[in-house]
Structures are given as structure tokens and as C-alpha cells.
Amino acid sequence: MVVQTKNILIEVGKGALTTALGFGGGCLVGHLAGAPVLLTGGIYAIAGLASYCFDLLAKTFAAKFDWNVSTYKFAQVLSAALLTAATAVTLFAIGILGPVGIGVFIGVGLAIGVGLPLGLGLYAKFGGKDMTYNKAILEKQNPESENYFVKFTV
């Protein structure tokens, strides 16, 4: 029971940190764009928390249904694409960012949130590194393991 409580507290702490970083980044973007600072910070905070929750959901499904690492990465790609589109539409509809700002936001969001996991997923799938998510977690926790792909991917 202590281990589960410890894991829950760690996940709540990570979610709170992600939300706080999203709020701070959003306030900075709002200030630089000349938009309402707290509104922009709130939108980015919600987007940060949603991103963290989608990732936690993908990890939970990958562990429960014994997905491969590539399938887990493709689930991350799907959630990142949906979240980037939803945040961009929200920022444009409220009038915080104009067409150029939205283009930059979508480009950066897709490059980081979609491009990196997609590349890692394709490398896992076709590079001979694909293993089940649960096996990858065990390999990551092994201190003698020299599988650097698993250490940086999972």
C-alpha cells in the first residue's frame, strides 16, 4: 500500500509541476504577444495538464494491455496531435495569437510533440528495438542494462 501511495503522490507532483510550468510559459507568451496574460497562462496550464494526463493514460494502457513500445509511442503521437490542434484553435478563437503566431505554435507543437515520438516509434518498429512496454520498463530499471534506446524512450 505504501508503494501505491508513493507512486500516486509522485504522479500528482509531476502533474502539478507540468501545470505550473504551462501556466508560467503561457503567461510569458501572453506578455510577449500583448494578450491577456492570465487567460493565456490558464490555457497553457490546461494544455500542460492535459498533455501529462494523456501521457499517463498511454503508459497505463501500454502496461495493462501489454503494448509494444512502438504502439505506446504512436499513442503519444495521436494525443499530442489532438492536443496541439485543440490548443491552437482555442488560442486563435479567443484572439490571443494571430495567424502567424498560430502557425509557429502548430509547427513547434507538431515538431516536438509529434515528430520526436513518431521518429522513436518508427525506429523501434523497424529498427529491431521493439519490445513489450512491460519488458522495456524492467530493462530500464535494471542498472546493468546497456540498452540506451529503452532508457531514453520509455
Per-residue pLDDT at 142: 85
Residue-level pLDDT at 4: 57
Euclidean distance between CA atoms 107 and 39, whole angstroms = 22
pLDDT per residue rounded down to tens, the chain (154 residues) = 344 567 888 999 999 999 999 999 999 999 998 899 999 999 999 999 999 999 999 999 999 999 999 999 999 999 999 999 999 999 999 988 889 989 999 999 999 999 999 999 999 999 888 899 989 888 888 888 888 888 778 8
Who's near 105: CB < 8 A, 6+ residues apart?
Answer: 84, 87, 88, 91, 97
pTM: 0.85
Q: What's the CA gap between 87 and 46, in Å, rounded?
A: 9
Residue 112 DSSP SS3: helix
58 grid coordinates = 498511454
pLDDT at res. 5: 62
pLDDT at 51: 93
